[in-house]
Chains A and B, each alone.
Chain A
Amino acid sequence: MKFIHTADVHLGVRPDAGKAYTKNRPEEIWRSFERLISLCEREKTDLLVIAGDLFHRQPLLREMKEVNALFARLTHTKVVLVAGNHDFVKQDSYYRSFRWARNVFPLLGKEMQKIEFPELRTAVSGFSYWDREYREGIRDSWKCRRTQDTEILILHGGDEKHLPFRKRETELLGYDYVALGHIHKPDQKEQKSSYCGALEPTDPNDTGDHGFILGAAANGLVKTRFVPFASRKYIHLDIQADEKMTGSLLRDTIREKIEEQGIENMYRVEITGFRDPDIEFAAASMDPYGNVIDVLDFTNPSYDFGKLSAVNKGNLLGRFIQSFEKEGEDGLLEEMALYEGVKALLETKRGS
């Protein structure tokens, strides 16, 4: 029995993807899901498991029809899906009334339910969100009551407001495989209970590879493997500045790194370290390919506080530095204020 585990496709999401890619990104995510369906057909996948948040918000009828038309194309694959916290089964949700294609088996109940596929010797259990949140934890009654060779459980959540659980707990329920959804970061190492992650990254914080989990079950043994599939990645570029770094040098460094890691990807640039006190980096000019989401400049001027403090003992500068040496003055805000104040005093010195 071959299966694919996906989740958090977030159809309909419009994520920030930089000047160059933001406009077409929603369409791209649809195309990606389409590619996944084609892959199921080509590979004769037996089962497609969707562990929630197929849609980013309440699905529209036309979106559902669109998705259903894709499912209907599958001649071999059966589809099991649940609704997650984003596309939860609202009072008047189309989930309640929609007539799915014959190969689609939605588990839309509020309570755990099980669907059996004797021809695949497989059973899939799961339930859907009926609300934005699900604050209760895992229940004893969810324990696996084996009726088929391969027992799969779908769970969506894993944080405080969405079915709080520890992965170990889900493993102890006795299923052969737990298909997890909600957390966008995939488990790339094989585990009995795995997050497949979002099919495509949908937020600048969804860094690294994204894709789905490919699984095979034989003789009650499930083997899985993460398959990268997303068309773009979010990458956080960490750039260490030093006193020799200038604006144009920084721009070149960013350009080089982006070229190295692919201009198709989307970047958040974080600059840390120290810079020449005379230099300010202009964040706006650091986006050569239109794929930089934001530039976060955490650099500080390279001041030698020990020396400055000693030379200026007792005067305004010395005392200003000293005032930040007290307890509770070591946060990021205070550090920034210290640098800004020292800079102001030194920049406005007479005769300089």
Chain B
Amino acid sequence: MKIKRLEISGFGKFHDRNIEVGDGINVFAGENEAGKTTIYAFLKSMLFDIERGRGRAAAGDMFHRYEPWDKPWQYGGMIQFESGGRTFQIERDFTKNGKKTRFFCLDDGEELSVDDGDLQAVLSDLDRATFENTVAIGQLAAAPGETLQTAVQNYAANYYHSGSSDMDLEASLSYLRERARELSRNVREAEEKRLKKRELGEQEGAYVERELTRLRKEYEVMRERVQDFDRQEETVEKKGRRFLVPALIMILFLSAAGIFLFVPRPLDYLLITAVLIAEILFFWNKVKMEKVVQPEHQDPAMTREKLEWRRERFKEEIREKQTALANIREQIDETYEIGEEEKLLKMRKAALELAAKRLLEVSKDVYQDIGERLNSRASRILKEITEGCYDRIYLEEKANISVYSGNRKIPAERLSRGTLEQIYFAVRMAASEMLCEEEFPIILDDTFSYYDEKRMRAALRWLAENKKQVLLFSCHKREREALEEMHITYRDGWS
């Protein structure tokens, strides 16, 4: 693709300004505020439409930045470019309720449609991001918290592993990690809900178990008391009824017989009666005393039936609690079953892990297919613009970049800013060649500020020899002077 002509009807500070763009190097030199950035923004807006932020982001968007302040009703313009041997024209009107965008082929006048993807087809799917990240080269810029050296490393590593200017493998992976962390939190919450249920079950179970122990003790006490009762009854019987009654009869008989033999009548009858009465009274008392004395240490009201009834009650309660405990255990077991929501969350987490794993695998393939070729091309470019000083770029695991100067390996942190800029330039040039089917114009925005004279000249020479069209924006005169000294023809963009 080649840019032929820009017509600015209104954009930023420009009004009714036409700019012809020729083959080879076009230099737009000028002081700050000369409008170099505006031309670049206009070019992008013509090709990819103007960026409009939504909501709060609107304040600083391109639309507001380049809205003409003196004649806001005139906002837009036209671009002519050549692609695939045909010349096209795009006209855009950025004003509110402005005219519809027109896109047509100048060779046959065929009207094309931007909305239907005709423009994308003509640009061979170059999009704004690729344009900004590949074709247009500004100064090496570091993201917040990033050194220039890591910026170059990340740029190259990403390029080599994604085969694309705008994709960021590391950022994607950490995005996935962050999502997985978030999901882990949700999974944990779901698990905690389930654990809570289990905990409640376990508490309940522990309570019932304590009750059971208590009941078992009580039961044991009751059982022993019933046994005691029986044992005592037995001893009373042994001592009392079994020996007492026959002994009593014997004594009665003997005393009666004795009186009969030794005491004369009629006194004997009287005596026998008296002695017998006395004896019966004595033994009666004895038997009664024994019976009362024995169970005295226990509750006299506690009959055997009552004790037994109590014992049975405890037995029943124990059984009830045992059943309850078994039920609670079953209930606890059920909390090991995972709910639908939790299952889905866990699956999502597994999906994130699979995605990350797959991305890494695929990126290795990309590196083998694209990264290595890209690196050798970038190395050659670097060698040319450093006039053989550095002949190989080397990208290690973990994206550590270094360059070889002969057999000497120099890590990136020991390189000057200028050299870092040159590595960056080389990688981008290699990428623009490899990743865009059609060669696009190279747009350089103050790219050479940190280059020394020698390397700037080498870079300019490389551009003149290798690139069909270059748009060079600069706030210095040094590029023009160098081009003139090297007898390289260039075009003054402003003319």
Contact = CB atoms under 8 A, between A and B. Distances in A.
Interface of A: 12, 14, 57-62, 92, 94, 204, 268, 283, 294-298, 310-312, 314-317, 319-320, 323-324, 332-334, 336-338, 340-341, 344-345, 347-352
Q: Which size bracket describes the interface of B in this complex?
A: 35 or more
B316 interface: yes
Given A94-B323, A348-B168, A319 B355 contact: no
Interface string B343-368: 01001101110111011011101100
B327 A351 contact: no
Nearest to A13: B331
B400 interface: no
Contacts of B125: 310-311
Contacts of B339: 294
A332 B167 contact: no
B172 A62 contact: no
B82 interface: no
- Chain B facing A: main interface SS: helix
Contacts of A62: 320
B391 to A, nearest CB: 28
B224 interface: no
A294 B166 CA distance: 39
Interface string B298-322: 0000000000000000001001101
17 contacts: A58-B327, A59-B323, A60-B324, A61-B319, A294-B340, A314-B366, A316-B161, A316-B362, A317-B167, A319-B163, A332-B347, A333-B351, A336-B348, A340-B355, A347-B175, A350-B166, A351-B133
Interface centre among A61, A62, A337, A344 (most CB of B within 10 A): A344
B171 interface: yes
Contact of B341 (A60, A296, A340): A296
A352 B341 contact: no
A352 B53 CA distance: 11
B417 to A, nearest CB: 21
B355 A337 contact: yes
A348 B319 contact: no
Given A340-B352, A340-B355, A344-B359, A349 B162 contact: no
A349 B341 contact: no
Contacts of B173: 344
Contacts of A94: 323
A323 B358 contact: yes
Given A294-B340, A336-B348, A315 B354 contact: no
Contact of B363 (A316, A324, A347): A316
Contacts of A349: 129, 166-168
Contacts of A341: 172, 176, 355-356, 358-359
A162 to B, nearest CB: 17
A217 B39 CA distance: 93
A351 B344 CA distance: 33
Given A294-B341, A296-B340, A340-B351, 13 more contacts: A61-B316, A61-B323, A283-B341, A316-B162, A316-B163, A316-B164, A319-B163, A319-B362, A319-B366, A337-B354, A340-B179, A345-B359, A350-B129
A60 B317 CA distance: 10
Nearest to A320: B362
Nearest to B330: A57
